Copies of this chain bind each other. A is one copy, B any other.
Amino acid sequence: MNAPFYDKLQSLLQMEKEPFTELYSLLQYQEIKRNDFVLKEGEICKFIGLVDNGSLRTFYINENAEEVNFLFHFNQKIEDIVFTDYESFLLSTPSKLNIQALENCSFYLIPHQDWQNLCNKSSYWQMFATKMTEKAYLSAKKRVEDLLYYSPENRYIKLLQSNPQIFQKISQRHLASYLGITPQSLSRIRKRISINYL
């Protein structure tokens, strides 16, 4: 029993003790090394993951064989902690995503089957699943707004404000592709901004 993680997760999920303990009992602990993969393109994602320690990234490989980062994960806010290819998980289709450890990591997995059983068990858990899907939807929509309305420079500034911790964990190379730009452009944006804010 990992008390800090238990407490953290419970406070993030804001659940009563009883259902939370039931959920927690399903979790399977795992550790992996830096650069190891939790999920590779083509596999079916059979888990929902929860970061305990370390950081991971979810990325695609685009048609030019470039890696494009979609999300980063670490033990922080609820939307950061969870990692999965929700599409593959829901539909049992081969994933187009990769999930890889950026440093040595420990995390917990909820296996697909256990999750299914839980959801079929009671409307409480079904509602819980719906809420999770809603959260996933809302964060994807937020990402669309970001990409549609803001220039790369403004996206960088917004990220700096909304999630400054991310800059301590994630290399600029990876952040650049998350922002949809090249590392060179990110470097120049940083320079531009630091000059303007001197």
A interface residues with partner B (beta carbon < 8 Å): 60, 62-63, 68, 70, 86-87, 90, 123, 126-127, 129-130, 133-134, 136-138, 140-141, 143-145, 147-149, 180
The CA of A141 and the CA of B127, in the complex, are separated in Å by: 22
The CA of A79 and the CA of B101, in the complex, are separated in Å by: 35
| Contact A180-B147, Cβ < 8 Å, known A137-B140, A141-B140 | yes
The CA of A147 and the CA of B155, in the complex, are separated in Å by: 13
Set of chain B residues within 8 Å of A149, measured between Cβ atoms: 60, 62-63, 68
Set of chain B residues within 8 Å of A62, measured between Cβ atoms: 149
Q: Is the CB of A87 within 8 A of B147?
A: no
DSSP class of A's interface residues: helix, strand, loop or mixed? Answer: helix
The CA of A137 and the CA of B144, in the complex, are separated in Å by: 11
Copies held by the complex: 2
The CA of A38 and the CA of B92, in the complex, are separated in Å by: 37
Set of chain B residues within 8 Å of A90, measured between Cβ atoms: 134, 138
CB closest chain-B residue, reference A136 = B137
24 A-B residue pairings within 8 Å (CB atoms): A60-B145, A60-B149, A62-B149, A63-B149, A68-B148, A86-B137, A87-B141, A90-B134, A90-B138, A123-B123, A123-B126, A126-B126, A129-B130, A130-B130, A130-B133, A133-B133, A133-B137, A137-B137, A137-B140, A140-B141, A143-B144, A144-B147, A147-B147, A147-B148
The CA of A136 and the CA of B70, in the complex, are separated in Å by: 18
From A87, A137, A149, residue with most partner B Cβ within 10 Å: A137
Question: Ordered nearest first, which 7 A-B pairs have the shortest CB separation?
Answer: A147-B147, A140-B140, A137-B137, A133-B133, A130-B130, A140-B141, A143-B144
The CA of A147 and the CA of B143, in the complex, are separated in Å by: 10
Shortest A113–chain B CB gap in Å is: 18
The CA of A95 and the CA of B68, in the complex, are separated in Å by: 31
Set of chain B residues within 8 Å of A68, measured between Cβ atoms: 148-149
